[in-house]
Amino acid sequence: MTPFLQATVYGLLQGGLLALIAVGFSLVWGVMNVVNLAHGALAITGAYFSWQLHESLGLDPVLSLVVVLPVMFMVGYVIQRGLINLVVNAPIWMTLLLTFGLEALIVNGLLLAFTGDFRSTRTGYSTNTLALGGVRIPYARLIAFGLSLLLTVALVLFIRNTKMGLAIRATGMDRTAARLMGMNVRHVYAVTFGTATALAAAAGSMIGLVGTFTPVVAGGYTLQSFVIAVLGGLGNMWGALAGGLVLGLATAWGALYLSGTLVNAIAFGILVLVLIVRPSGLLGKPYYEARAEA
């Protein structure tokens, strides 16, 4: 029973973290119809950012978010405003190619700057664990999970209750109508992308806290974001959270009961199945009803 419980707890904690990466990916996809292949790379950029702050200033990864979040928001804002906005109206594979080029640029830039060595942000509490009836939970994972939930809830509140959130939802539903209402769609898109980037970077900081990272794992996180966003339904933030937890659990149980190498095959199997059977996602509404919802 204990290995099962341990795997379940681990899966849920990991799933929460994956959800934080995917929620921004899902938001960008839902609002702008852009599949951002550079999303994982932006998350890993956040991980390096946080790691560097810890190395040179001794800043705790959680505290460093005070710097990482606004800076990465600006990075995302500039990428959208200066680059992705230029091809938003092009056929969809253009944005796929553009963000793929961006991913190559970021990943190789990080490789040149930091080499491909595995890094990890080691804090004083990195090795401490909480023992709960035979199940051991590292404190770092608990912190990462709590932060993921907190930021996801904060995003939902932002989208639901602020004027900018309303603008984001409105542009996601009908961009032309939003423009006619006097919204600056270029700005709204850039804020959306900036928010997604900041959240991905926050998740990246947490990845560094709970484990190791290297630039080349970026693509893996992007693929997992795909699966989660599709599972949860586009632009659906609670859906992304649920999708993250489902993927985390499926991966943990798969690794426990099946060969660890089959896990990816299962994840992609789920992805293709969901796409074919229920493309609007587990919690999503039919595509034409809503692109972005909180």
Chain contacts with other proteins (rule: CB under 8 A): 29, 33, 35, 83, 85-94, 96-98, 100-105, 107-109, 112, 174-177, 185-186, 189, 219, 223, 226, 230, 259, 261-262, 264-265, 268-269, 271-272, 275-276, 279, 287-288
What CA–CA distance (Å, rounded) separates 261 from 275?
23
Give the SS3 label for residue 211: coil
Which residue is it, tokens 């109508």?
177
* Least distance CB 180 / other proteins (angstroms): 10
Bridge partner list, 129:
138
Cα atoms in the 13 Å half-sphere on the side-chain side of 145: 17
Whichever of 139 and 253 has its CB closer to other proteins, that residue is 253
* Least distance CB 219 / other proteins (angstroms): 7
What is the enclosing helix (H) or strand (E) of 137? strand 135-138
* Least distance CB 96 / other proteins (angstroms): 7
Whichever of 5 and 104 has its CB closer to other proteins, that residue is 104
Distances (CA, A) of 133 to 6, 130, 248, 291: 10, 10, 22, 44
What CA–CA distance (Å, rounded) separates 38 from 238?
23
Whichever of 154 and 265 has its CB closer to other proteins, that residue is 265
Whichever of 135 and 164 has its CB closer to other proteins, that residue is 164
* Least distance CB 259 / other proteins (angstroms): 7
Joined together, the tokens standing for residue 171 give: 């542009």
* Least distance CB 272 / other proteins (angstroms): 4
Whichever of 60 and 103 has its CB closer to other proteins, that residue is 103
What CA–CA distance (Å, rounded) separates 43 from 72?
10
Whichever of 65 and 230 has its CB closer to other proteins, that residue is 230
Structural contact between residues 138 and 9, judged by C-beta atoms closer than 8 angstroms:
no
* Least distance CB 213 / other proteins (angstroms): 19
